[in-house]
Amino acid sequence: MAADFPPNAVRLNIPIKRYDTCQPSALTMNDDKAMMQLTEAEYRKRFDGYIITDCAVLKRGQYYFVSRNIAESERAGPTAEATVTKRVGWYFPFRTQGSRIQDMDFEGYRTLTIGASRAGEHLILCVSVDGQVTSTDGGEEDNDEDENVIPKSIRGPRRGAMRRLRTIDDSLYAVGSDHTVCVRRGRNRWESLCLNLPEPTLTDFNDVERSDNMAFVDIDGFSENDIYVIAGKGRVWHFDGTKWSRIAFPSDMDVYSICCAGDGYVYIGGQSGSVWRGRNNEWTLLVREMLTLPFEDIVWHAGKVWLTSDYGLWNVIDGQLVEADLPSSDIKVCAGNLSVGDGVMLMAGTHGAAVHDGSVWQLIFHRMQFA
């Protein structure tokens, strides 16, 4: 596997001037909807020329985004992704204008994903495919830190490429190829949860389908002792706090996203927008291949299951997939990625970003506003 972080790759901190924050208690999102939205100057400086590929909520009023440079990606093509600059930005709407949005650039990374760690710390973790880690709290001081690479070993915590981060009970979990599963236990501390998961063999490595079936693409859980992971063609595993068990999933369709929902069910997004619901070894196909794209993210928020792709936002209601009731097309075009935390849901994608506070949508920005 090609190295994600070559020796000459660097993370660049964008020179920024930090200001004192506003007091969050003085205003709420409902007091002034306009303050939630970026100004054109803020958009031009931080998002113009970039497309959002991931997002995360650290807490209410602290929203993070990963984006990639559009022009560089067009020149690079699919085999030179490491030449495309990635940008991690954070938006704190209740700060004063001029200090409420900041960012830092990453060069030499093929991919970058982010997630919130709230167990014993209050940080956003930026993790590359090869386990490079940068942490930040978006604070007034320059608290961004390049941590140690997540150790690679057949016993874990990292066996292969890192693919996905997910917060479960405030702890940050990571999954990836070769049956990689680990959980963050503090600064530079990643505990392996590979345990009894089958180790990859040379035969697995030389077979694309076998490798894909060992490459975990998503994880979620009801608790640290009740976790599900998915990979490849209907590969579903369950962790009971001690060991992993293969779930008898009734399909070999490709699976992409998972959610352990507040209604007690597990929802799995499959190819072409298929949706499965179940738990343990009992599963029902709710939606059969009706969309062009699979769902990128599935989350539980405000008493509902929410599913998104670049094409829109949906809910599962009474076992049926229905298009989400959104107040305007400006919100709808922000679809693509979802993150939940502290009672809010952040949605961000190619054309913008918006946040739902449990009852009301607030637009952060819509790219076409500044065309």
* Mean local confidence (pLDDT), 22-29: 35
pLDDT digits (tens, 9 = 90+) for 255-281: 999 999 999 999 999 999 999 999 999
What would the pLDDT profile of 202-249 be if each residue is shown by its tens digit? 999 999 999 999 999 999 999 999 999 999 999 999 999 999 999 999
Place of tokens 């009734």: 250
Mean per-residue pLDDT, 75-82: 89
CA distance 84 to 53: 13
Q: What percent of the chain has a predicted confidence (pLDDT) above 90?
A: 83
Confidence band of 363 (pLDDT split at 50, 70, 90):
very high
pLDDT at 6 over 80: no
pLDDT tens figures, 153-205: 999 999 999 999 999 999 999 999 999 999 999 999 999 999 999 999 999 99
Give the pLDDT of residue 3.
Answer: 41
pLDDT band at 31 (very low <50, low <70, confident <90, very high): very low
Cα 47 to chain centroid, rounded: 18
Which residues, at least 6 apart from 25, have a Cβ–Cβ distance to it below 8 Å?
none
**What gap in Å lies between CA 293 and CA 140, rounded to an integer?**
40
Q: What confidence score (pLDDT) does residue 143 get? A: 74
The answer to whether residues 220 and 260 touch, using CB atoms and an 8 Å cutoff, is yes
pLDDT number for residue 26: 33
CA dist 49 to 42, 68, 70, 209, 371, Å?
13, 8, 6, 36, 11
Which residue, chain included where needed, has tokens 């599900």? Answer: 228
Find residue 268's DSSP bridge partners: 258, 276
List the chain domain ranges.
1-110+332-358+366-371
268-275, long-range: CB < 8 A, 24+ apart:
268/230, 268/236, 268/298, 269/294, 269/295, 269/298, 269/307, 270/234, 270/294, 273/309, 273/321, 275/307, 275/316, 275/321
Half-sphere CA count of 348, side-chain side, radius 13 A: 25
Q: Which amino acid is at 105?
A: D
Across 177-311, the runs of DSSP E, i.e. the strands, are 180-186, 189-192, 216-223, 226-231, 235-239, 244-246, 255-260, 266-270, 275-279, 282-287, 297-301, 304-309
pLDDT above 50 for 147: yes
CA atoms within 13 A on the CB side of 189: 8
Looking at 53-57, 119-123, 141-145, 239-243, which range is the least confident one?
141-145
pLDDT at 19 over 60: no
First to last CA, the chain: 40
Closest CA relative to residue 63, chosen from 296, 369, 347: 347
Instruction: With a cut of 80, say whether residue 4 has pLDDT above it.
Output: no
